[in-house]
Amino acid sequence: MAYAVFASSIYAANLTGHWVASFHADGTVRETHLYLKADENLLTGWMSSNAGNEKIQDGKITGDAFTFTIVQDRFGEEQRLEFTGKLTGQELTLTYPHPSDRPGRQVQFKQVSSAAPPEMPPNPAKISLPAAAPVAYNELAKAPPMGWNSWNKFANKVSDQLVRETADQMASNGMKDAGYVYINIDDTWEANRDANGNIQTNSKFPDMKALTAYVHSKGFKIGIYSSPGPKTCAGYEGSFQHEEQDAKSYAEWGFDYLKYDWCSATQVYDYHSMPAVYAKMGEALLHSGRPILFSLCQYGVLHVEKWGEKVGGNAWRTTGDISDNWKSMSHIGFDLQLELAPYAGPGHWNDPDMLEIGNGGMTDTEYRTHMSLWCLLAAPLLAGNDQRNMTPAIRDILENRELIAVDQDRLGKQATRVAKDGDLEVWARQLQDGSHAVGLFNRGGAQAKVTARWSDLGISGKAHVRDLWAHADRGEVPNEYSTDVQSHGVVMIKVSQ
């Protein structure tokens, strides 16, 4: 026991000090600072990053490893983030928690001082904005937007070359013909600003205007990403206090779509000001000189479905980030969309996040459920896979024209759950021609029979049934339709009289 205490004391002495993680990439430099004080098995101090200054709590040292907690105010609710770390020689490895089911991110820190840390300086007071006037409708997104986004598969590896190759593939592999129009660049394209405050691109994107021209020449539209905060989620330059300037840059470059991700805006704005913050960019896009679809990404907080349209939004995220696994996808798609149908319609859509279809974390059966549910929800269909390496099975899922017709139906009526029996659920939406698209879902662990009753759809008597995955007519069926559904699977039908 005495030896353990002695070893911990030596380790603690080495851990105390100022540690820095520097990220040199794409012409930008980003830093996170740790100011640590270790006393035998106790660890105190603070962290400084894009998220501001945050106090370390519950810090403990065990041998050459340590843990601590950062407590954040996430839109009025306390969020506890558990960090783990290890000291090896002169390098400290810190594992960041991931907010979803993905593995944590490891970051290496180097010591720049062994002195005891100073007191944590206070964070600046947050900005409160008055309510904004409603932003005029931009006449875009009459149907849910369809396309591709770089983040789910490529994250910070997106580049000019990747976007061009994706456009080439989608022009020839059937995706464009199926209706996938937008090719969207997510985070990590940004550099800093020039002397006049104009946003610059980093080395991965040497000529944005040439890139947009290339994508347009292939018959697509193209999208870009930013944040209303000083930094984006990945720590790149955001649009804080440059909204009009950035909107004009996007228009001059030739962009058609903006995903606007809250991220570090929490550090500068009172979160109750969120609608007014988004309205600033909504207005800026309207006066940018080019029609630009406005996609709000703020994780569904503050009941965004009730005000997203008023700030110029064409779509708004309803949840946190999706992960490529059944638990995440099914929870987001089934459980978190139940009350949102009244707020969707032409020009303004609920967005349960991008598609994970083809990224490898689910079975093809689960991916068919993913596609079916998103189409019933009238959700944006933004593929997130590698278009250059897509199996025929995944292509068939993403390019199912009968499913896509449901998603794109011009009535724009989002599905609701019309029946539930344990793990068995039936979701349905009315279509413009008076028919109904119906999903018979089995969320359980074994095959089961699922029944869709015509009375739940508001119809009676016989109805014609077509299976949208089998591409087969099932004839005239009285009163109800029952069928066996695989575990985590779906049978998707169109019911018409």
**Helix/strand/coil for 369:** helix
Strands (E), 26-141: 28-39, 42-49, 52-62, 65-74, 77-88, 91-96, 105-113
Q: Could you tell me if 288 and 140 are in contact, meaning their C-beta atoms sit under 8 angstroms apart?
A: no
CB-CB neighbours of 17 under 10 Å: 20
Q: Which of 246, 321, 324, 386 is catalytic?
A: 321
- Annotated catalytic, 261? yes
What H or E segment, with its residue span, contains residue 366?
A: helix 364-376
HSE of 233, CA atoms in CB hemisphere, 13 A: 19
Residue 245 φ/ψ, nearest 5 degrees: -65, -45
Q: What is residue 303's DSSP assignment?
A: G
Token output for 96: 């960041």
**Rounded (5°) CA angle 442-444-448:** 55
| Sequence-ordered alpha helix ranges (H) in 218-332 | 243-253, 265-268, 274-286, 326-330
What H or E segment, with its residue span, contains residue 408?
A: none
Q: Which of 26, 186, 256, 261 is catalytic?
A: 261
HSE of 394, CA atoms in CB hemisphere, 13 A: 19
Beta partners for 196? none
Q: Which residues contact 293 (CB under 8 A, 6 or more apart)?
A: 138, 140, 141, 145, 182, 223, 256, 257, 258, 314, 315
- Annotated catalytic, 246? no
Whole-number Å distance between alpha carbons of 406 and 354: 17
* CA distance readout (Å), 66 to 63, 94, 99, 111: 8, 9, 20, 16
Q: Could you tell me if 492 and 470 are in contact, meaning their C-beta atoms sit under 8 angstroms apart?
A: no
Burial (CB count within 10 angstroms: exposed 0-12, middle 13-18, buried 19+), residue 269: buried
Q: Which residues are catalytic?
A: 261, 321
